[in-house]
Amino acid sequence: MSSAVAAESSQTSSSSHCPACGKAATDSSRAWRLVNARGEAEWLQCNECCSYFMDREYALHSEVSHTQQMTWGDADEGAALNQFKRRMYRSVIGTLQKHLGDVHGKRMLDIGCAYGGFMAAAVEAGLEVEGYDIVPEAVEHVRSQGLRAECCASVNEFSLSKEPFDVVTVLDANIYWPDQPGELQEIFQRIRPGGLLVMRVVDKSWLARIGGLLQSVSPQRGNQVLRRALNDHRFSMPLGSFLRVVKQSGFDVISATPRGAIHSDQTSLAVKLSFGLGAALWHSLGIFMAPGAVVVARRPAQ
Ligand SMILES: [Zn+2]
């Protein structure tokens, strides 16, 4: 067991709030116990937003060391992942062009920028870009590419510029936040009126539900499905609940779709198929069963 995982496992304090919607954790039910990349932990299900979340208090230092051990926190593999995710990056740039028109000179903040893959794609498209991440090595790498980045954990700590942004992007990062509603409210303040919030979110809560049911029949298979559904995320939130929290933070939701959320041309056929079927199901029946989605929201102009 690695030292960071051991450090995380030794923490005994439990969550005070659902990280996804902010409701007190006392309003949650026990979901399952699971061993994954973060060690063994109890998971709860929030009665308010139906999200599953790891019952462990957030500690920034262990979050940083954990991320450094994951693919996207490692210098070589993090840079390789920039290449892998190019399909999704291109798609998000297309989304920005669709909603902002000419993106040249528009100011963008990328939250959880990792090794700067999306920042580089945005610069290529003509945007003026800044970013931040919790991993110091990632921020150093981004800076070495001539891009502006800061090492911090929350948008209210970001200090490179105080001018409001035309667009804030959060791609595969919100599932690590300790307080999503608080973070979204802070982000709202940093976007100019009429500006955009674009997020790629993961929602495999439907798969986690299946894993949880399976666990009581076949613990081994159930745990396999759960690990696949949860990865190393701190919470797993149904898309419908997520959209409610975005609206409660003051945003108008413009669109939410699995289309454009596929990471790579090299993504497996099964996963691509799951996105295709998921998109059809979501847009026809409003049932979300894809692995992820791209959400576009706007801060109202007034
Ligand atoms: Zn909740």
Which pLDDT band holds residue 6 (cuts at 50, 70, 90)?
very low
| Cα 183 to ligand 1 centre (Å) | 14
Is residue 174 within 8 A of residue 199, CB to CB? The reply is yes
| Cα 31 to ligand 1 centre (Å) | 13
Q: How far, in Å, CA of 49 to CA of 13, rounded?
A: 22
> What pTM did the predictor assign?
0.91
288 alpha-carbon distance from chain centroid: 17
Question: What are 116-151's pLDDT values in tens digits?
Answer: 999 999 999 999 999 999 999 999 999 999 999 999
Backbone angles phi, psi at 296, to 5 degrees: -115, 125
| Cα 236 to ligand 1 centre (Å) | 10
| Cα 301 to ligand 1 centre (Å) | 29
| Cα 245 to ligand 1 centre (Å) | 9
56 pLDDT above the threshold of 50: yes
Question: What are 202-259's pLDDT values in tens digits?
Answer: 999 999 999 999 998 999 999 999 999 999 999 999 999 999 999 999 999 999 999 8
Question: What are 74-126's pLDDT values in tens digits?
Answer: 777 877 888 889 999 999 999 999 999 999 999 999 999 999 999 999 999 99
H-assigned helices in 19-167: 60-69, 75-84, 86-100, 117-124, 136-144
The domain ranges of the chain are 3-69+204-236, 72-203+238-298
| Cα 55 to ligand 1 centre (Å) | 12
Q: How many CB atoms lie within 10 A of CB 189?
A: 12
| Cα 248 to ligand 1 centre (Å) | 13
- Tell me how long the chain is: 302
| Cα 47 to ligand 1 centre (Å) | 7
The helix (H) or strand (E) run that includes residue 45 is strand 39-46
20 pLDDT above the threshold of 50: yes
Average pLDDT, the chain: 91
Just give the CATH number of 72-203+238-298: 3.40.50.150
Is residue 215 within 8 A of residue 32, CB to CB? The reply is yes
| Cα 41 to ligand 1 centre (Å) | 18
| Cα 51 to ligand 1 centre (Å) | 6
| Cα 21 to ligand 1 centre (Å) | 4
| Cα 6 to ligand 1 centre (Å) | 27
| Cα 155 to ligand 1 centre (Å) | 21
Residue for token pair 């580089």:
120
The helix (H) or strand (E) run that includes residue 168 is strand 165-171
1 pLDDT above the threshold of 80: no
Is residue 129 within 8 A of residue 119, CB to CB? The reply is yes
User: CB within 5 A of ion ligand 1: which residues?
Assistant: 18, 20-21, 23, 46, 48-49, 51
| Cα 177 to ligand 1 centre (Å) | 13
Q: How far, in Å, CA of 237 to CA of 23, rounded?
A: 13
60 pLDDT above the threshold of 80: yes
| Cα 267 to ligand 1 centre (Å) | 30
